[in-house]
Amino acid sequence: MIVLAGVERNGKMKSKEPYVLVFGVSICDIFGFTQCEFKPYNSNPGAVKVSFGGVCRNIAENMARIGMKTKLISIVGDDANGHSMLAHAQRINLDMDDTLVIEGKSTPTYLAVLDDKGEMVSAVVDLKIADKFSEEFIDSKADVITGAEYMFFDADNPSTVEYIVKKYKGATKFVLDPVSAAKAVPMRDLISYFHTIKPNRHEAEALCGFAIESQEDVRRAGKYFRELGVENVFLSLDADGIYYHNGEEEGIIKALDIPVVNVTGAGDALVAGIGHGYMNNLGMEETVKYAVAMSAITISHAETIHPELDYPFVQAYKDSLKWEVVKF
């Protein structure tokens, strides 16, 4: 049986405040860290860490933490992990009221065991309900989709993304984070539907079909995506910065001397920062700087999402950074 999360069903009026919508799977991450050499077929002493993940859920949490009105349509099981995830969303003002809850099923979960050197020795992934977004369910959220200023996706479920961008073309602005080169490939024929894309170098190569090795290649890719109809192109060049192109402004912005602790979640924070720029009518350069600041904050901490992340923190951090700006 399928039910919906939240209190919208009980008569609560939907807010008319402008909002962004994020659509994608949420995952419960469980990591076991052994304190000594891992011994198979035995109980190994150590520590266990539970956190919430999934690219789209991470993007949405980053947005909510900096004060953006954010709705997340996701999918969870009717279990302890699912209920904990929904409660966590309420605490950070992330609206998951329209999330799909599958009764009698488990929330998507990734469980990994790491040895005393930090290397993964085994893992189990349970994503059985991740593909349960039906066209009927999606269409039941038509008002939420068309009411959003922007709608953010990753490339985890190409058929669902295709259905939405084709049926609701023109009703909102679509933003894509391809996630990986392999997952980017099915998105090739859909690129023209997106207002914004944020690939990294490898994902961009998969989307445009040619190697991106030089600055000229980067600009060629930007032109290629623009000619397909993408309004704003953001291409992550890792340590070399962020390339941006919107037809009028084009350049590369790099933050200098960024400490790195854990790069996991950097791309999610970057996408959230782009959303902040859009919702606050920032120019391209300021949007990139804010997004990069969010990403830099993320990689400076061991957690995937910095526990102290909020708008004043990001603003102050951005203002403290030294920048290298190249304009074409």
Report residue 277 as tokens. Answer: 């720029």
Q: For residue 3, what pLDDT band results from cuts at 50, 70 and 90?
A: very low
Task: Check residue 6 and give its pLDDT.
Answer: 45
Instruction: Say what the pLDDT of residue 5 is.
Output: 52
CB within 8 Å of 157: residues ≥ 6 apart: 24, 25, 130, 131, 133
Whole-number pLDDT of residue 136: 96
The predicted-structure confidence for 199-254, as pLDDT tens digits, reads as follows: 999 999 999 999 999 999 999 999 999 999 999 999 999 889 999 999 999 999 99
140 vs 234: CA distance, rounded Å: 32
Q: What is the 3-state secondary structure (H, E, C) of 254-290?
A: EEECCCCCCCCCHHHHHHHHHHHHHHCCCCHHHHHHH
| Chain segment 173-190, per-residue pLDDT in tens | 999 999 999 999 999 999
- HSE at residue 266, side-chain half, CA atoms within 13 A, is 22
Give the pLDDT of residue 75: 95
pLDDT over threshold 90, residue 1 = no
Gap between the Cα atoms of 23 and 55, Å rounded: 10
For the beta carbon of residue 7, count every other beta carbon within 10 angstroms: 9
What element of type H or E holds 322? strand 322-327
Secondary structure element (H or E) that encloses residue 10, with its range: none
Q: What are the pLDDT digits (tens) for 130-159?
A: 888 999 999 999 999 999 999 999 999 999
In CATH, what is the architecture of 2-7+18-25+55-98+130-327? 3-Layer(aba) Sandwich (3.40)
Q: How far apart are CA 207 and CA 189, in angstroms?
A: 9
Q: What percent of the chain has pLDDT over 90?
A: 81
